[in-house]
Structure 1
Amino acid sequence: MSKYAAILHMEKPELNLEFRAAHLDYLQNLEQQGKIFAKGPFTDGAGGMVIYLADSLEEAQELAGQDPYVLQGVRRLELHEWKA
């Protein structure tokens, strides 16, 4: 299993609070499945990052792309394989 860094750039801060609970619920569910290594917001408000655990880039793209923040256009997804 590899690690993939999903950088979530803030695009629509006015929608952030509206979709925050759905975003956190989504990540909590994936965390319980063992699909998340680490997660958290950037302290400057520019967005946040999630490190996914996945078998392939395609799986990581699917996981990250289903985040409500990404689906609703609140955050713009940038995804990279991450070598710790």
Structure 2
Amino acid sequence: MKLFAVLLPLKDKELSQTHRPEHLQFLEEQRNKGNVAANGKFTDGSGGLVIYRMPDKEAVEELVLNDPFVKHGARHYHIHEWEMVSGEWE
């Protein structure tokens, strides 16, 4: 499996607030299936990031297009294959 960073920049603040519960439920379902490694919002309110664990970019895009944020026009999306390097946390 490969890792993909999906940036979800804000497109429509009102739609984001409306569809946030559905988006979080979608992410939880994907996490339970092993497809989401991590996710979170940007503290400046500009959007968020999801790290997907999938075989290829096409599979990631298929999921992203079903994310309620994207499906309802609340967020744009950008997909990048990502090679994670991890260090020590204090």
The TM-score by the shorter chain falls in which range? over 0.9
- Please, which runs of 5 or more residues in structure 2 have no aligned partner? 85-90
- Please, which runs of 5 or more residues in structure 1 have no aligned partner? none
Aligned residue number for residue 73 of structure 1: 73
Distance in 1 separating the partners of 2:66 and 2:77:
11
Which aligned pairs between 1:4-43 and structure 2 lie closer than 5 A? 4-43=4-43
Secondary structure of 2:48's aligned partner: strand
| TM-score for the superposition, normalised by structure 2 | 0.91
Question: Would you say how many aligned residue pairs link Structure 1 and Structure 2?
Answer: 84
Distance in 2 separating the partners of 1:36 and 1:46:
21
Deviation at 1:82, TM superposition (A): 0.6
Distance in 2 separating the partners of 1:61 and 1:15:
21
Show structure 1 runs of 4+ deviating over 4 A: none
Quote the RMSD (CA, aligned, Å).
Answer: 0.6
Quick one: which amino acid aligns to residue 32 of structure 2?
Q
Q: Deviations over 1:5-49 (max 9, x none)?
A: 110000000111110110000000000000011100000000000
Distance in 1 separating the partners of 2:64 and 2:56:
12
Deviation at 1:60, TM superposition (A): 0.8
Q: State percent identity of aligned pairs.
A: 38
Quick one: which amino acid aligns to residue 16 of structure 2?
N
Aligned residue number for residue 59 of structure 1: 59
The structure that is strand-richer by fraction is 1
Quick one: which amino acid aligns to residue 3 of structure 1?
L
